């Protein structure tokens, strides 16, 4: 896993090349909505892209993590099926339903049943390198979503400069990232973990949570400001010294949300001394995203080491897939 995380910048570089080629083959149309179906490591890229596109797309972007699809899917829908293995059963069912609804479908996969489905119906299919854990291939799938949207005429933003800035930032801050990751992992060791972030960064927080789940083998929860300051904040009413709270935010986030975060921090400090500021650093969305993804991936594997776990092993998920295959 450490080798895979180290190769994240190279993965992004290769993914950009794949994406540019794919974008030139996309068809523009009068799309009324975009739906991306994908789960786990294959789907979290869509959540991050949705945060990026929140105020950029003129049509809704729906991230679907289900066997079924929204009722709004029709012939005016751009439907993107994303499954790294190509065998995710929820995504396979969803894309078949989208086909019946006559949606315009693009598949992103390394092979499997999804690639065969695309070939059978002559659908655009972007092939990405195979043979790695899906969660370690976030860069491949995430970049393809950006280029599909660009090639389809939906995303006008010039994001490529931001991507290059993000790559440069990881390389520039490599030593600092490792040092901080080790420090944060130590503070999380033998603790319950809560991740609190601000609106617009939830995709990144969920990615962090999932990496802690799969790599570190720990349970984590997350919540988002401002919503959580209308409910969960009230739950902090007694001492929880077994909880480490990580505040994941960009210092120039919307000022009202930063004020809420600071107030929340004052409340929580009454009940646990274990509070960590984990700044999402960078001058653009993708510079911040790459920095935070790389930092938190390293936190997850360093915590895995402290817990004495194999970061790659996910036997319980493999067992679930075997069981579901029987049904």
Q: What helix, strand, coil percent values describe the chain, rounded to 5?
A: 55, 15, 30
Average pLDDT over residues 6-31: 93
DSSP readout, 111-126?
Answer: SHHHHHHHHHTT--EE
Q: What is the pLDDT of residues 177-236, one digit of tens each?
A: 999 999 999 999 999 999 999 999 999 999 999 999 999 999 999 999 999 999 999 999
Q: Domains of the chain (ranges plus CATH)?
A: 2-157 (3.40.50.10490), 174-307 (3.40.50.10490)
Q: Is 230 a catalytic residue?
A: yes
Contact at 8 Å (CB) between 226 and 196?
no
- Rounded to two decimals, what is the model's pTM? 0.94
In tens, the pLDDT along 80-129 reads: 999 999 999 999 999 999 999 999 999 999 999 999 999 999 999 999 99
DSSP H or E run through 61: strand 61-64
pLDDT tens-digit readout, 238-287: 999 999 999 999 999 999 999 999 999 999 999 999 999 999 999 999 99
Exactly one of 230, 237, 256, 269 is catalytic; which is it? 230
Tell me, yes or no, if 321 is annotated catalytic.
yes
Which of 214, 222, 274, 287 is an active site residue?
A: 214
* Residue 319 banded pLDDT, cuts 50, 70, 90: confident
32-46, 138-152, 195-209, 313-327: range with lowest mean pLDDT: 313-327
The mean pLDDT of 24-32, rounded to a whole number, is 91
């Amino acid at each position: 896993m450490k080798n895979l995380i180290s190769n994240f910048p190279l993965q992004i570089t290769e993914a950009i090349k794949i994406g540019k080629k794919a974008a030139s083959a996309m068809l523009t149309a009068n799309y009324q909505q975009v739906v991306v179906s994908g789960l786990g490591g294959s789907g979290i890229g869509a959540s991050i892209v949705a945060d990026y596109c929140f105020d950029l797309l003129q049509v809704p972007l729906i991230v679907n993590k289900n066997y079924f699809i929204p009722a709004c899917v029709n012939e005016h829908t751009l439907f993107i099926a994303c499954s790294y293995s190509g065998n995710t059963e929820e995504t396979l069912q969803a894309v078949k339903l989208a086909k019946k609804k006559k949606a315009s479908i693009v598949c992103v996969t390394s092979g499997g049943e999804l690639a065969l489905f695309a070939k059978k119906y002559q659908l655009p299919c972007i092939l990405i390198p195979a043979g790695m854990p899906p969660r370690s291939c976030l860069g491949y799938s995430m970049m393809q979503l950006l280029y599909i949207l660009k090639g389809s005429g939906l995303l006008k933003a010039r994001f490529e400069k931001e991507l290059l800035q993000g790559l440069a930032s990881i390389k520039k801050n490599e030593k600092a990232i490792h040092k901080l990751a080790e420090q944060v992992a130590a503070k999380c060791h033998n603790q319950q973990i809560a991740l609190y972030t601000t609106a617009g960064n939830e995709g990144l927080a969920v990615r962090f949570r999932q990496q802690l789940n799969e790599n570190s083998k720990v349970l984590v929860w997350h919540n988002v400001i401002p919503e959580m300051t209308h409910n969960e904040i009230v739950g902090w009413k007694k001492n929880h010294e077994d909880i480490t709270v990580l505040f994941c935010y960009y210092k120039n986030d919307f000022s009202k949300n930063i004020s809420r975060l600071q107030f929340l921090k004052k409340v929580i400090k009454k009940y646990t001394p274990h509070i960590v500021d984990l700044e999402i650093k960078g001058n653009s969305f993708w510079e911040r995203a790459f920095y935070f993804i790389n930092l938190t991936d390293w936190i997850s594997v360093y915590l895995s080491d402290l817990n004495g776990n194999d970061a790659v092993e996910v036997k319980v998920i493999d067992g679930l897939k075997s069981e579901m295959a029987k049904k």
